[in-house]
Amino acid sequence: MKHVIALDVGGTGMKAALLAQDGSVLFEARRPTGREHGTDAVVTAILDFAADLADEGRSRFGAAPLAAGVAVPGTIDEQRGIAVFSANLGWRDLPLRTLMGERLAGGDGAMPVALGHDVRSGGLAEGRLGAGRGVERFLFVALGTGIAGAIGIDGRIEAGAHGYGGEIGHVVVRPDGPACGCGARGCLETLASASAVSRAWAEAVGDPDADAASCAVAVDAGDPRAVAVWQRAVDALADGIVLAQSLLDPSRVIVGGGLAEAGDTLFTPLRAAVTERLTFQMPPEVVPAMLKDTAASLGAGLLAWDLLSMEVTA
C-alpha cells in the first residue's frame, strides 16, 4: 500500500498518520511534543516520531513511505523548507525539511518532505476531505488560543505573497480595543479567540479558572453575564467574517478550533450576526469544521502527496 507520513507538530502534542493517496488514514499515533525539555529536545522528538512512523509503514506494508509532510505553527518558509520562528516551540530558522529528509533517508537518498503551516494545512484538509469538499472558494477560521485562517481556492490554499495569507486573527475590528501581541490594538483574536473569551468570562465571574467552555455552558443556562461575554465575542467574529466576505467573497466560511466545539451556542448567533451586517454582499454559509483536531495532520499528508505529484510532472 503506497503511503506517506503526515505529522502535525503542536505546542504540547503531535498528531500523526500514515496516509493513502485518496486521503484515507492507514495508521494513527500521537505523542507529546516535550517542549518543557527545550528546543533541541523538541526537534529530536519530531525526527524520532517521523522515523518511527516510517518503520511502522515498512512493517505494515512492506515498503517505506514515499514522502513526508509536516505541519508546524509559527512563521515558515515553505519554499525553502525552513521553520522560521515559533514562540511556543522556541526555534528560529530551523531547516526542518532538510533535517527530516536526511533522517528518513533510504537507499535512494533523502526522502521528499513538504513543510506546511499548521492552520493552512488544516484548511487544505477541510477543503479536500472535510467541510469545504467540492467548494470552489472558502475561508477556514480556527478559533483556538489565537485566531488564524486559510483561504481556499480551487482545491489549494492561497498563502499570499509573503506567506501571511489568511491571518484574519490580526484584522483590527475594534481600533480602541485590547493590545495584541502583534503590536496592534483590537485585533480579532484579542476579542473572539477561546483565550479572549476565557479571560473575559474569568473576569466577569471573578474566577481565574473559568474558561470559554464553562462560559458556553453558562450561556445555555441563560446566565446574563455569560450571554454578554459571548455576544461581544460573536459580534467581533461576525465583523471579521464580513470584512473577509467583502474582500474574498467565499461561498462558505468553515469555523473550527476549540471554540467551535460549542456547536449551536456559537453558530446560531454567529450566523444571525453575519447576516444582519451584510448589505450588498452575498451571504456565505457559516459551517463547523468536520475534521476536528486531525485536520492539520491530514493536510500535512496531502502536502506530501502534492509534492510527489509535482515531482512526477516536473
User: Could you report the per-residue pLDDT of 155-188, keeping only the tens digit for each?
Assistant: 899 999 888 899 999 999 999 999 998 899 999 9
Instruction: Identify the H or E element spanning 218.
Output: helix 212-220
Answer yes or no: is pLDDT of 314 > 80. no
Work out the burial of residue 23: count CB atoms within 10 Å of its CB; fewer than 13 is exposed, 13-18 middle, 19 or more buried: middle
State residue 15's pLDDT score. Answer: 97
State residue 116's pLDDT score. Answer: 95
Q: How far is 104 from 64, CA to CA, in rounded Å? A: 9
What is the separation of C-alpha 155 from the centre of its chain, rounded to a whole number of angstroms?
Answer: 16
pLDDT band at 233 (very low <50, low <70, confident <90, very high): very high
Give the cell for residue 189: 483574536
More confident residue, 164 or 65: 65
For cell 487544505, name the residue. 124
Secondary structure E strands in 106-242: 113-117, 137-143, 147-153, 156-158
State residue 313's pLDDT score. Answer: 66
∠ CA(117), CA(119), CA(120), 5° rounding? 65
Answer yes or no: is pLDDT of 44 > 90. yes
pLDDT band at 276 (very low <50, low <70, confident <90, very high): very high
State residue 87's pLDDT score. Answer: 81
Work out the burial of residue 148: count CB atoms within 10 Å of its CB; fewer than 13 is exposed, 13-18 middle, 19 or more buried: buried
pTM exceeds 0.75, yes or no: yes
Sign of CA dihedral 95, 97, 103, 105: negative
Give the cell for residue 57: 509503514
The 10s digit of each residue's pLDDT in 86-120 is: 888 999 999 999 999 999 987 666 899 999 999 99
State residue 155's pLDDT score. Answer: 87
What average pLDDT score do residues 256-278 get?
97
Answer yes or no: is pLDDT of 272 > 90. yes
Q: How far is 254 from 130, CA to CA, in rounded Å? A: 10
Tell me the residue length of the chain. 314
The 10s digit of each residue's pLDDT in 121-151 is: 999 999 999 999 999 999 999 999 899 999 9
What average pLDDT score do residues 68-76 get?
94
User: What domains, with CATH codes, occur in the chain?
Assistant: 4-120+293-313 (3.30.420.40), 133-289 (3.30.420.40)
Q: How far is 83 from 96, CA to CA, in rounded Å? A: 6
Sort residue 186 into left (φ over 0), alpha (ψ -120 to 50) or beta. Answer: left
